[in-house]
Amino acid sequence: MYKRTKSHEGRRRQMQYVGKLMRRIDVEPLREAVASLQLGHAKDSLALHEAERWRAELIASDDALTGWLEQHPGADVQQLRSLIRAARKDAAAAPEQRSGRAFRDLFQYIKSQKPTDPAPDADDDADD
């Protein structure tokens, strides 16, 4: 309603009404919803940065592939090697332009893979 209201007085009355409603309700669920929304955005951003880091490492060295496979045992090794090889070829062809199709495809593949959670320690179960 607020966005559709054109007059200043109408908007003022609408905000007064919202304020009245807000005083009557418990604000804790609203605070929790806003916090979880902000946390979700932060997690998404962190996941993208992590995928960018992995892409750079995989293109830079062959040793990074071993680390990737330890964290992602279900990954398709043949497809990943093919994507890395193509991204390296793109980077060698145009070093100043790092946005070739293979470069993007490698990023999309990395982003689609979810890391496996480490198994819980046996010591944690013994303490209970």
Does residue 23 lie within any of the structural domains? yes
CATH code of the domain containing 51:
1.10.60.30
What tens digit of pLDDT does each residue of 4-53 get? 778 888 889 988 998 898 888 888 888 888 888 888 888 888 888 988 99
Does residue 84 lie within any of the structural domains? yes
Does residue 53 lie within any of the structural domains? yes
Predicted local confidence at residue 2, as pLDDT = 65
- Model pTM? 0.58
Per the structure, the complete domain to which residue 112 belongs is given by: 8-116
Number of structural domains, the chain? 1
Cβ neighbours of 85 (radius 10 Å): 13
CA 124 to CA 128: how far, in whole Å? 7
Predicted local confidence at residue 124, as pLDDT = 47
Cβ neighbours of 61 (radius 10 Å): 11
Cβ neighbours of 18 (radius 10 Å): 12
> Can you give the chain as a three-state secondary structure string?
CCCCCCCHHHHHHHHHHHHHHHHHCCCHHHHHHHHHHHHHHHHHHHHHHHHHHHHHHHHHCCHHHHHHHHHCCCCCHHHHHHHHHHHHHHHHHCCCCCCCHHHHHHHHHHHHCCCCCCCCCHHHHHHC
Is pLDDT at 121 greater than 70 in this prediction?
no
The two structure tokens encoding residue 46: 């962190």
